[in-house]
A and B are shown apart, each in its own frame.
Chain A
Amino acid sequence: GAGVSQSPSNKVTEKGKDVELRCDPISGHTALYWYRQSLGQGLEFLIYFQGNSAPDKSGLPSDRFSAERTGGSVSTLTIQRTQQEDSAVYLCASILQGTGPSPLHFGNGTRLTVT
């Protein structure tokens, strides 16, 4: 696609429910990142995929968070038993890794509100 696509753009859910956030990266981009940004805060790294593997998932806040990537393309971030502190904008970015520095291309994010 032309850019990184995330869905839904907004999600309101009740505390305790599970949510799934989707990211469709730029076609051909090998690596995919998930970040979380709380209101007025910086970007918090969650997890990184190289192909379908996640070499670094050190940023996932708890075992309620999980992510997968299939076919080297679409990724899904799942939050189980959501809590109010999970409310944030979840940003996905993809990158075409080559021989030199490559920039991240960000999607527009999913704004998650847990009530």
Chain B
Amino acid sequence: QKEVEQNSGPLSVPEGAIASLNCTYSDRGSQSFFWYRQYSGKSPELIMFIYSNGDKEDGRFTAQLNKASQYVSLLIRDSQPSDSATYLCAGPGTALIFGKGTTLSVSS
């Protein structure tokens, strides 16, 4: 059974801080991962994906993938109140498996 695990939170950070979100997965054959953001009452929207070991940066967001340790993380620099949402990690394969999501709260 392929699984994607996330700490449900909530994770609370002050405005301007770095928020660190983590995800672990069970399938060693996994190749690529996606981070989605979901605002309350809305559908998930893609933030970024990563498929190579190491870091991938896009603006204030950095995704990190460590295949040996089977974890993927998302760092949000200079966190803003508008970043307050649930962040979902999705594993690869034909059936994209989502973690339960981590709720982030950024206080101003």
> How many interface residues does A have (CB within 8 Å)?
22
B32 touches A42 (CB 8 A): no
Residues in A with CB closer than 8 Å to B46 are: 103-104
Closest residue of chain A to B51 (Cβ to Cβ) is A101
B49 touches A101 (CB 8 A): yes
Q: B88 at interface (Cβ–Cβ under 8 A)?
A: yes
Which of B6, B88, B90, B96 has the most CB atoms of chain A within a 10 A radius of its CB? Answer: B96
A48 touches B43 (CB 8 A): no
A42 touches B96 (CB 8 A): no
CA of A7 to CA of B55 in the docked complex: distance in angstroms?
39
Residues in B with CB closer than 8 Å to A101 are: 31-32, 34, 49, 51, 92
Q: B97 at interface (Cβ–Cβ under 8 A)?
A: yes
Q: A91 at interface (Cβ–Cβ under 8 A)?
A: yes
Residues in A with CB closer than 8 Å to B51 are: 100-101
Residues in A with CB closer than 8 Å to B32 are: 101
Number of A-B contacts (CB under 8 A): 51
Closest residue of chain A to B102 (Cβ to Cβ) is A42
* A9 nearest CB across to chain B (Å): 11
- Tell me the B67-108 residues at the A interface (CB within 8 Å): 88, 90, 92, 94-101
A106 touches B45 (CB 8 A): yes
CA of A91 to CA of B92 in the docked complex: distance in angstroms?
18
Residues in A with CB closer than 8 Å to B36 are: 104
Residues in A with CB closer than 8 Å to B45 are: 106
A45 touches B34 (CB 8 A): no
Q: B16 at interface (Cβ–Cβ under 8 A)?
A: no
Residues on A facing B (Cβ under 8 Å): 31, 33, 35, 41-43, 45, 48, 50, 55-56, 58-59, 91, 100-101, 103-104, 106-109
